[in-house]
Amino acid sequence: ATVSLKMAILSVQNSNLGDEDLPQTPATFLVYVLAVMAAIGGFLFGYDTGVISGAMIVIREDFALNDWEQEIVVSSTVLTAVFGCLAGGPANQIWGRRPLIIFSCILFIFGAAALAWAPDFKWLVLGRLVVGFAVGLSSQTVPMYVAEVAPPHMRGVLVRLFNLLT
């Protein structure tokens, strides 16, 4: 195992697939705008999973939630994010990246509206479920889209924007 690991490291170090060999087409302003706007999906993912901890202080009191209900509200987003992620691969093949990014944005809007106007626990969970599915879908779709629109020599940097904003 040690010999094959050393060989793998040496072959990567000696490969001719470095950035200098990629076509150096200049990135247009539109590519930067698309990459940043698409990477905002990463920000929504990170923001939504992080902001709930502070918001639960107020939500717990306003909705009179017990411990179990608080756990459901917090974890429901992660649950449906898994399903959104799993659905993202086949859906990207069928409908393409741009339509799925638009669809996930629409889901974010509906989920956020359900959360903003939630009269009770059920609506709160429903909003979190919808937002979670959008999070999973966008986390599967956005990096692929950015990789497709980015010039080859800038692809890694622009795709990392998604992770940076998460």
- Per-range mean pLDDT, top range of 36-40, 134-138, 156-160: 134-138
Q: Is the dihedral of CA 110, 112, 116, 121 positive or negative?
A: positive
The residues near 126 (Cβ < 8 Å, ≥ 6 apart) are: 114, 118
Burial 74-97 (b: 16+ CB within 10 A, else e): bebbeebbeebbebbeebbeeeeb
User: What is the per-residue pLDDT across 96-136, written as a single tens digit (0 to 9) for each?
Assistant: 999 999 999 899 999 999 999 999 999 999 999 999 999 99
What is the distance of C-alpha 55 from the center of its chain? 21
User: What is the per-residue pLDDT across 67-76, written as a single tens digit (0 to 9) for each?
Assistant: 999 999 999 9
Can you tell me the distance from the alpha carbon of 163 to that of 98, in angstroms, rounded to the nearest whole number? 19
Please check the confidence at residue 20 and state whether its pLDDT lies above 70.
no
Give the CATH superfamily of 29-165: MFS general substrate transporter like domains (1.20.1250.20)
Residue 15 is encoded by which pair of tokens? 């490969």
Percent of the chain with pLDDT over 90: 48
Every domain of the chain and the residues it spans: 29-165
SS3 66: coil
